[in-house]
Amino acid sequence: MKAYKVLRADGRGVFTAFRWPLPAARPGEWVRSEPKPCRSGIHACRPSHLPLWIGRSLYEIELDGEIVDDAMKVVASQGRLVRRIDAWDEQAYDAYTRMCADRAHELARGHGLDNWEAVIEPSVPEGGALLGFVAARIAEELDGVEGYHRERATQAEWLAERLQLSS
Amino acid sequence: MAHSPLHISCQEVVELVSDYLEQALPADDAALLEQHLNFCDGCVWYVDQVRTTINVVGELRAEDVPEETKAKLMIAFRDWKRG
């Protein structure tokens, strides 16, 4: 199964600091671990999950073996990094952050949410993960859980289109 | 347990951090906590501090603690319980 893996800029796992075998001319080595969500296993994203976990570097990952599908991620018993998504560079990262900030402004201004409006620009230096969350929280305040999910879906579509991702 | 199925606050990170580090948190809550850590540098710093403290304190044996410190701790815990 094809999925996507967010790593730190240096190729280590975001939460585990695991040093992933990176792909070069060929895919990286297979990594194996018992698939238990948030405990062990190879954690990865479908395109729809990406806004929840977006970070500085992004890879396509091949998953195999036992695969656990979760609302927020997929977890597999084995995986290997296939290629770095080169389109996810500084420019794309900044563009995503800006898109989320603009969308947050649009929602907040359109409904007089001054408390939210005040936090948007100061949050921009923190990057797309935070701005995506801010936009989704404003949407949630306006339309409840559906609004939150709709905003996350819009962000995922932006990323999939810009980075040419598929599942 | 997290109050929202969608996200958790910094306050909830503080409440859940011990269970998270001990891998005692339900998987869904752990996922929400990690999502929060993905954008909140302040909470990343806090979780790292708690992790470091647990590692350091975990290496201490009761006999390593001076009697005077033990006495102070007993008083502090007694007062804390009364408060």
Domain ranges for chain B: 10-82
**What's the pTM?**
0.86
pLDDT averaged per 10 residues in sequence order, chain A, 167 residues: 95 94 96 92 96 95 96 96 96 97 96 94 95 97 96 97 92
Q: Report yes or no: A31 and A21 within 8 Å, Cβ to Cβ.
A: yes
Give the nearest partner residue to A15 out of B28, B34, B41, using CB atoms.
Answer: B34
Q: Rounded to whole angstroms, how far apart are CA atoms A75 and A93?
A: 25
Q: Report yes or no: A102 and A154 within 8 Å, Cβ to Cβ.
A: no
How far apart are the CA of A24 and the nearest CA of chain B, in angstroms?
27
> Does the beta carbon of B5 lie under 8 angstroms from any beta carbon of chain A?
yes
Give the nearest partner residue to B6 out of A14, A55, A148, using CB atoms.
Answer: A148
* Nearest chain A alpha carbon to B29: A38
ipTM here = 0.89
Domain limits, chain A: 2-84, 90-163
pLDDT in tens, B13-66: 999 999 999 999 999 999 999 999 999 999 999 999 999 998 888 777 878 888
Which position has the token pair 């649009």? A106
CA nearest neighbour of A74 among A47, A92, A55, A100 = A47
pLDDT in tens, A116-131: 999 999 999 999 999 9
